[in-house]
Amino acid sequence: MMAKNNGLQSSPANHHPCPPGQARVEGTGPTTRTCSTQDDASELQRGMPSNGGEQPPASAFQGRRTLARIARLVLVLRDWASRSLHEEQQKPDPFLERFQGTEFQAVAARIASDLQDEEAEEGNKRKKWQIFVVDPAGDWYYCWLAVVAVPVLYNWCLLIARACFNDLQETYVVLWLVLDYVSDSIYIGDIVIRLRTGFLEQGLLVKNTKKLRDNYIHTLQFKLDVLSILPTDLAYFTVGLHCPELRFNRLLRFSRMFEFFNRTETRTSHPNIFRISNLVLYILVIIHWNACIYYAISKAIGLGKDSWVYPNITDPEYSNLTLGYVYCLYWSTLTLTTIGETPPPVTDEEYLFVIFDFLIGVLIFATIVGNVGSMISNMNATRAEFQAKVDAIKHYMQFHKVSKDVETKVIKWFDYVWTNKKAVDEREVLKNLPDKLRAEIAINVHLETLKKVRIFQNCEADLLVELVLKLRPQVFSPGDYICRKGDIGKEMYIIKEGKLAVVGDDGTTQYALLTAGSCFGEISILNIKGSKMGNRRTANIRSLGYSDLFCLSKEDLMEAVTEYPDAKKILEERGREILIKEGLLDESATEESTEGKSMEERLDSLALNLDTLHTRFGRVLTEYNDAQKKLKQRIAVLESQMRQQDLEDFSDSSDSLLEDEVKALLGGTP
């Protein structure tokens, strides 16, 4: 009995379940659970000495429970460590990253971003087509229009020829099939491009695919494009390969060719030449179609049946395909140009066709004459305008009997200006552009020249933009004096082309030579105080040949620097430095000018105060007049009220007197 009890006490885990949450610990196996108290108890039991059936002391049970808790804690820590280790291998420690070097961080960042880059690339590949939008104003779109225009022109020229001339269709069947289906592929690609062609909405390019699709689908052109790619040539399986008229629906894509021509006319530097070439192309296409229709009508009536139709092809002389086409083209050209000299029609159908051709020919002839005439006029518009000015000046000089030398000099000046393409008035040409675009053009043309001026070097960019808009080109003839010594300086000049000489008072002694990029006269227009010459010219400058100069007036310069007071001070300081360097600045006069300047400022302030007082006095006088008018109106109202009150009082008093008299009369009667 004691042994049994000892056995039960020595292994209580064999009979009692482990306490939940304490004795059981989930193992690493699929479904195994281990009771740690049982293992620990058995180990303790094996390590304990046997005392012949006596129960172990209480301290032994206490030590056993302590070891069980330690074992459970070790198992829990091992499981937690295994899970945390896997997470730490994937997630870097942010605290450690703060102390890592930049190179190590960069390497770690690259490694960490590799997976993200791969995912981003896959996403970009999927979204690349979604964000593909064609800008209709870009070069890529223009090049695509050029590609589409080729099959359109191919269909318009060759489909009708293949339908009318059977030999042409039958001889090159394989070539036509290849070209036809290549053009169809381009047509289909054009529809796809149109679905992705952006448009402007509130000045911004729309890139929303749904809006782009709706904007194209709801247009008439979409319906025409769909009709142009309908597989009508599937009827080849029924009627054979020699019926190219089944593909006439491909002609509906003509709008893309016209769009290409319009954009080319806008982009080309020679629009008049392109317009003439485009007109000639249209005329040739019309003549080509008319020639093919003439041959088709001849076949319908019967080749060689009468003198008007095409001769019978059984004749070896007219059996050649090239000769047949050239003959029809010649007949079409004579008819449409209304030259005539063709065989007269015989049947009613022939008469109707010739009448229709003559009407079209008259319209074509009128179109040719009108368009070519207007194009030539536009090409010579500048010359005609310039010649009108020359004629007006010639008439003026003849009317006032100007000397021949001066007249010859003026005519030579006009010849030079026209020959060197300097007759265009820049302000007149650019007047329709907004100020921003005019400034950009002026900067591209004049800014580099303006930067060569010493006093404008390192100036504010906005000031230079203001100045370039005020530059006026001038052309001087040989021997002309640009300025003379002692003249008041009102302009400064920048040499663009030509050579100028600084000469003496005799006009022959030459002291210096000024070439392109040089400038002069900038000091005199600044009117710097203390200058020994004031605002007068210090030298005689004469043009050796024809000289092209830029002129900047004093008013334009002062107007430009008004909004830039700091720039004005910088210009004056640099002008003083130049005068000091050349010994033309009087220091004492400069000091006196400062006092004079203060006096001028006082005078300006006094004038400003007087203007202010005058304005205020005018305002007070106006208020006084208004108050006086209101007072008069108030007095008039009061007078009217007083009159009305007096009338009422008088009526009341008269009524009372009348009543008294009546009472008196009534009282006196018996």
What is this structure's pTM?
A: 0.55
φ, ψ for residue 157, nearest 5 deg: -95, -40
Handedness of CA 337, 341, 342, 346 (dihedral sign): positive
Report the chain's mean pLDDT, rounded to a whole number.
76
Q: In sequence order, what DSSP letters do the residues of 398-430 get, joined into one string?
A: HHTT--HHHHHHHHHHHHHHHHTT----HHHHH
Buried b (16+ CB within 10 A) or exposed e, 540-570: bbbbbebbbbbbbebebbeebbeebeebbeb
User: Averaged over 208-236, what is the pLDDT?
Assistant: 89
pLDDT score recorded for residue 639: 85
What is the Cβ-side half-sphere exposure of residue 199, based on CA atoms within 13 angstroms? 11
* Cα distance between residue 267 and residue 261, in whole Å: 10
**Residue 598 reports pLDDT greater than 60:** no
As given in the structure block, the two tokens for residue 408 are: 């010859």
Q: For the beta carbon of residue 70, count every other beta carbon within 10 angstroms.
A: 12
**Residue 626 reports pLDDT greater than 90:** no
**Residue 48 reports pLDDT greater than 60:** no
Determine the angle formed by the axes of helices 271-301 and 254-267, rounding to 10 degrees.
Answer: 160
Q: What is the pLDDT of residues 91-144, one digit of tens each?
A: 554 433 433 444 445 544 554 555 566 556 655 655 554 567 888 888 899 999
**Residue 184 reports pLDDT greater than 90:** yes
User: Averaged over 201-211, what is the pLDDT?
Assistant: 82
Q: What is the pLDDT of residues 269-327, one digit of tens each?
A: 888 888 888 988 998 999 999 999 999 999 888 888 888 888 887 877 788 888 889 99
**Residue 670 reports pLDDT greater than 70:** no
Answer whether 149's CB lies under 8 Å from 256's CB. yes
Nearest CA to 209 out of 222, 198, 223 is that of 198
**Residue 188 reports pLDDT greater than 90:** yes
State CA 84 to chain mean position distance: 58
Q: Which amino acid is located at 218 in the chain? A: H
Looking at 15-24, 55-64, 126-135, which range is the least confident one?
15-24
Report which of residues 423 and 37 the model is more confident about. 423
pLDDT score recorded for residue 13: 38
Looking at the DSSP bridge assignments, the partners of residue 37 are none
pLDDT score recorded for residue 125: 55
User: Between the ranges 588-602, 604-618, 629-643, where is the mean pLDDT highest?
Assistant: 629-643
Burial tier of 127 (Cβ tally within 10 Å: 0-12, 13-18, 19+):
exposed
Q: What is the pLDDT of residues 437-493, one digit of tens each?
A: 887 787 777 766 766 666 666 677 777 777 777 888 888 988 888 888 888 888 888
Q: How far is CA 137 from CA 141, 144, 199, 414, 561, in A?
A: 7, 12, 9, 41, 39
pLDDT score recorded for residue 21: 39
pLDDT score recorded for residue 10: 39
pLDDT score recorded for residue 655: 65
pLDDT score recorded for residue 185: 94
pLDDT score recorded for residue 17: 41
